[in-house]
Amino acid sequence: MALLLGPFLLLMSKFIIQVNGPAYGTSASVNALRFTQAALMGGHQVVCVFFYQDGVYNSTDFSLPASDEYDVVEHWQQLAVQHRVPLVNCVSAALRRGIVSEQDANENALNHWNVSQSFIMGGLGELITSIESADRLISF
Amino acid sequence: MILHHIQTSPNRDNALKLCLRYACKEDAILLSSDGVNALLLRQWAMALSPFKLMVLKDDVIARGLTERLSNVCLIDYNEFVAQALLHDKVITW
pLDDT digits (tens, 9 = 90+) for B15-66: 999 999 999 999 999 999 999 999 999 999 999 999 999 999 999 999 999 9
| pLDDT tens, residue by residue, A72-109 | 999 999 999 999 999 999 999 999 999 999 999 999 99
Picking from A10, A137, A140, the nearest residue to B85 by CB comes out as: A10
CATH architecture, domain A16-59+73-139: 3-Layer(aba) Sandwich (3.40)
Whether the full predicted model's pTM is greater than 0.80, yes or no, is: yes
Which residues lie below 8 Å from residue A40, measured CB to CB, with a gap of 6+? A46, A79, A83, A85
Q: Considering only alpha carbons, which residue of chain B is nearest residue A21?
A: B7
Identity (one letter) of the amino acid at A98? G
Q: A71: which residues sit within 8 A by CB, 6+ positions away?
A: A65
DSSP, collapsed to helix, strand or coil, labels residue B46 as helix
Chain A contact for B7 (CB, 8 A cutoff): yes
**pLDDT score recorded for residue A115:** 95
User: Which residue ranges make up each domain of chain B?
Assistant: 2-92
C-alpha neighbours within 13 Å on the C-beta side of residue B17: 7
Of the CATH numbers 3.40.50.1470, 3.50.50.60, 3.40.1260.10, 3.40.50.2300, which one belongs to the domain with range B2-92? 3.40.1260.10
**What DSSP designation does A66 have?**
-
Task: Count, in order, helices (H) and strands (E) of chain A.
Answer: 6, 5
Contact B78 A137 (CB under 8 A): no
- What is the side-by-side strand order in the sheet with B2-6? B74-75, B52-56, B28-31, B2-6, B89-92
CB–CB of A10 and B82 under 8 A?
Answer: yes
User: Rounded to whole angstroms, what are the CA distances from A90 to A77, A100, B41?
Assistant: 17, 11, 37
Asked if B85 lies within 8 A of A31 by C-beta distance, the reply is no
